[in-house]
A and B are shown apart, each in its own frame.
Chain A
């Protein structure tokens, strides 16, 4: 069973999240209302994953993110999923830059509403995958327009879903196409972006993100 430490200062949302995660069979071992509580809870409970809000007391600035980075510094590879109310490339990049960038997630808070996908993202991050919000990817895409103009709209959709760390079958499901079609799109994307084909989903995501960020 995946053991979660959850940091969210809004009691309403924290209770909701606990209920949600437990309904899907994850166990929330501790809830934290401040960044300090989060760090203490992780030290005490040694969870499989940390889910935290960016904006936390006492300063209501980016304490949650800072705490997450600190935790990953102390314990490299500790899976961390950061929930943010804004699309912020800078935050996502900082997370990806912590330890080797695996086992991290940066999602908009509003993704919680799509409960199954959200819980799936929590599980995948806990397993060491990298999940980046499609909005962030879309922003990056906009800026890599020149080489990416070669991608068809369908391929761009596939790329955005891929950045969420999904497997081929999950992408196929989301787009209502067959897995074979997805593989075909993938191959074509990787060729167009001059990326070598590897089989680990996670590495693939990171390759694409690195490319989008200016390779």
Chain B
């Protein structure tokens, strides 16, 4: 069985034969390098920033110093994967707006930023020397012993060599014994090395994990689960209503319309002719209305073809021309598709109603394990997340899936409406899903059909 983390690997009998000793060494080596680089960067920022602060230009450098923990922590979370596959989540919030200023404002207010700065200081002043010592000792001792015969043959002129600068060896059997000891010592020392690496990893995890209170956490989890159940139930109900309308009322109306159509062929005299014509018109109107109603409840194309085609369908109906560009690997999990669909639907409805835009664009892609869909328009801006109940509904719906809605709409425009829904890679597509026909990206008016004409 393959071990999935260093801690498990250390207990397994095959530890020495696997990659884990190497991973431990790589983890400690990269830790030492990163720590040293951090030390240099922090000192430079502090010294130069402090010196220039008097003439104001140093202030941005000091701000960078304050935020220095953030990139380091991000790197450390990635580096941790060398010895521990469990992903350490990023504790930072999404910024409230676009642009660097909004990002800095949010970051400075977060306690995590300051904890990460503390971690950076620990790395710079405490951890990396220890890592360097641990790695240096193992490499120095084993390397020194293993190299003894070579050193004797070259530098020692075949006469003598001071092994590890301690023992004087003056014959080949002695230096080969030293080399053998080195070879035997290497696997022995691989254990403490692994332990040090595992300890360092555990410390990183502890220091960089988001803080929480277990009781509150379990309550929150239960609340989250019950919200998911509610949304699922709500979605199932929508589907049921859609199916009932479709298989019941709509079919009966078609049959009624057909009967009225046939009745009109019988050439009835007035006033029956006029009455039948009116009844037929009413049936037609009812059919149009029920068709639109069903589509609003849950569009069949979303189930059949997925997000891209469903969004293209909304774009087709929009009074404002909309370009659609999706770059998706295939079908996404059903709740993700549904939430994104209704979000885009609401966004485009707002574009049509309020923005005064001449064009809009929908772009969708997978980035960092999340579906990101952006709706932009060239309208007059001024959309307010708090004002529209529709937008609030979208935000609520997304939050159930740990998704986020961001609306940036300065007066004068442009408006950017961004939806981000976590969407783990490699998730099995929804049941009955048809794989999307490749990563086709294109404007909404699809490819030219060719020369059929």
Contact = CB atoms under 8 A, between A and B. Distances in A.
Contact of B449 (A61, A89, A96, A110): A96
Interface string A53-76: 001000111100000000000000
A112 interface: yes
A101 B321 CA distance: 27
Nearest to B315: A143
A214 B254 contact: no
Contact of B321 (A60, A62, A96, A143): A143
B284 A100 contact: no
A20 B254 CA distance: 13
Contact of B301 (A60, A88, A206): A88
Contacts of A112: 254, 257-258, 261
Interface string B152-193: 000000000000000000000000000000000000000000
A22 to B, nearest CB: 12
B215 interface: no
Interface stretch (A10-18, A120-128, A150-158, A160-168): A10-18
B261 A113 contact: yes
B445 A214 contact: yes
A213 B449 contact: yes
B452 A16 contact: no
A76 B251 CA distance: 31
Contacts of B321: 143, 145
B252 A12 contact: yes
Interface residues of B, number: 50
Given A116-B265, A213-B445, A55 B450 contact: no
- Interface of B (DSSP majority class): helix
B262 interface: yes
A143 B445 contact: yes
Contacts of A59: 432
A17 B255 CA distance: 9
A109 B315 CA distance: 23
B258 A20 contact: yes
Interface string A2-31: 000000001011001100100100000000
Interface string B274-317: 00000010011001100100110001110111000100110111
B280 A61 contact: no
A114 interface: yes
A143 B252 contact: no
6 contacts: A61-B304, A112-B258, A112-B261, A113-B257, A139-B317, A208-B453
The 9 closest A-B pairs by CB, nearest first: A113-B257, A207-B453, A214-B445, A115-B261, A110-B287, A139-B316, A210-B449, A62-B304, A10-B251
Interface of A: 10, 12-13, 16-17, 20, 23, 55, 59-62, 85-90, 93, 96-97, 100-101, 108-110, 112-116, 139-140, 142-145, 195, 203, 206-215
